[in-house]
Amino acid sequence: MAPLSLYGVSNSLVSTLLLHLAAVLPAPLSTLLSNGDLILLLSVLVFCGTLLGASLLNTILLIWFERKMLGRFMDRRGAMHVGYAGLLQNFADGLKLFRKHTFRPQDADPLGFFSAPTAYMVASIVMFGILPVSTGWSAGTLPLSLLLALVVFSFAPLFIFLGAWSSANKYSLIGGMRSAAQMIAYEVPILLAVVAVVLLSGSFDLTTIVNEQRNYWFWGPLFLALIVFVAGMLAEMERIPFDLPEAEAELVEGWNTEFGGMLFAFFMLADYARALVGSYLIVLLFLGGWTLPSWVPAPLTNFPLAGIFWFQVKTYLVFGVFIWIRASLPRVRTDQLLRVGWMRMIPLSLLSIVLAALVVLAKCLPVFGCLPSMGS
């Protein structure tokens, strides 16, 4: 049996539905419905809708997860009252924000002010189409999907800065500047850490990278790169201890001070979508993606959708670590953050590249023999 894939499911669903309809309906309509292009178009739409809906639901679940976890760390219960254990609280909050009046400060530039949240949102959720969550569960197998993902991921600061600048608020502007400085500073070590992964796996394709981790996950040989990558991701996600752009103690809410209602909801949701994507990336690059070690008993890996299940478990564990960090660390200062970024992270990531190269070399030494997983 071919592995279950989201596109395959939606394709067979749409074609079955249309063919049944065509059998019932009269002639001109039935020929139209049984047209192959239409089936293709509709199945792509269904595929996209399902992926988008599932990803956003997952994001909202992530917010719930953070609220509950953070609550427990703080000796309280978190959201409790809407839905079972507050599961529907985020929907209630979203509804409240949706009903709010959307306004814009008098001096704000309307074009930038209104387009920034939308653009930020789009740039964040496009990532869900690029990252594979299991074999066959991505929009397509691109040979350079890792590069594309990183490019899209690093697009967002532009929109943050756009929103901050156009909202004509001093706090927003400072927050936007900090955000831009921080993300540029941490973009470089992240990319260098990724280079180490690419060296070890020999591919830019995320699916291949995960498949390369069948025998051993990359966090072992690339521990240094993992540290750099996690720290960089914390900075990219703007989470404590690196949440300076929205440091509420001094900057009120940083770059999204002036945004309210649905605009704020967009920013908020996109922020968590980025957090989810960041956790996805860590799982994909370092923690073996949807694969499990071979000693795991078969019943745990054989059930339907096992890949997705284990992928999400890993993702939430990674995000749980982020929540833990958020609950227990104070915020650093901008200059300290940038100093760490340029002076510590980049040398570390360069070192990790050297280590990755050494690992690759070592595997090809006659003493060890080329490991079969290295492929070419």
Partner 1 sequence: MWINMGPQHPMTHGLWNLRVKIDGELVLDVDPEMGYLHRGIEKISEDRHYNEIITLMDRTCYVAGMAWEHLFIQAAEHALHIQVPERAQWIRTMSEEFQRVASHLMWYAAFVQDIGLMSPFLYGMRDRDLVLDLFQSYTGGRLTYEYMRVGGVRNDLPPGFTDQARKVCDWLSDRFVEYDRLCLGSDIFHRRCDNLGVLKASECIRYGITGPMLRSAGVARDLRKDRPYAAYGQVDFEVAVADGADVTGRYLVRMEELRQSLRILRQTLDWLDRNAGPVMAENVPRWMGAPYAPVGREGYLLKREYPKGVGFSAIEEPHGEALAYVVNEGGEHPYRVKLKSPVFVNIAAARQYLVGYRVADIPPIMGSVDVCVGEVDR
Which one of residues 32, 151, 329, 358 is an interface residue with partner 1 (CB under 8 A)?
329
Binding pattern to partner 1, positions 334-363, x when CB under 8 A?
Answer: xxx---------------------------
Residue 100 vs 331, nearer CB to partner 1? 331
Given the rule CB under 8 A, which of 154-162, 265-273, 330-338, 341-349 is the region that contacts partner 1?
330-338
CA 154 centroid distance within chain: 12
The two tokens of residue 60 are 């909202």
Given the rule CB under 8 A, which of 59-67, 73-81, 206-214, 309-317 is the region that contacts partner 1?
73-81
Q: Residue 189: which of 117, 242, 143 has the closest Cα?
A: 242
Residue 78 vs 289, nearer CB to partner 1? 78
Distance in angstroms (rounded) separating the CA atoms of residues 204 and 190: 15
**With contacts defined by CB under 8 A, how many residues of the chain interact with partner 1?**
29
3-state SS class at 103: coil
Q: Residue 268: which of 29, 67, 68 has the closest Cα?
A: 67
The two tokens of residue 72 are 């427990």
C-beta of residue 235 within 8 angstroms of C-beta of residue 157: no
Residue 74 vs 95, nearer CB to partner 1? 74
Given the rule CB under 8 A, which of 50-58, 141-149, 168-176, 291-299 is the region that contacts partner 1?
168-176
Say whether residue 327 binds partner 1 (CB under 8 A).
yes
3-state SS class at 331: coil
Distance in angstroms (rounded) separating the CA atoms of residues 50 and 43: 10
CB of 242 to partner 1, least distance (A): 10
Q: Which of residues 239-278 bind partner 1 (CB under 8 A)?
A: 240-241, 243-244, 247-252
Identify the burial level of 193 via C-beta atoms within 10 angstroms of its C-beta, where 0-12 means exposed, 13-18 middle and 19 or more buried.
buried
Which one of residues 6, 164, 174, 231 is an interface residue with partner 1 (CB under 8 A)?
174
Given the rule CB under 8 A, which of 4-12, 30-38, 115-123, 321-329 is the region that contacts partner 1?
321-329
C-beta of residue 127 within 8 angstroms of C-beta of residue 153: yes
CB of 321 to partner 1, least distance (A): 15
Say whether residue 73 binds partner 1 (CB under 8 A).
yes
Identify the burial level of 3 via C-beta atoms within 10 angstroms of its C-beta, where 0-12 means exposed, 13-18 middle and 19 or more buried.
exposed
Say whether residue 328 binds partner 1 (CB under 8 A).
yes
Distance in angstroms (rounded) separating the CA atoms of residues 213 and 169: 48
Residue 20 vs 72, nearer CB to partner 1? 72
- Residue numbers of the site for partner 1 (CB under 8 A)? 70, 73-76, 170-171, 174, 240-241, 243-244, 247-252, 326-336
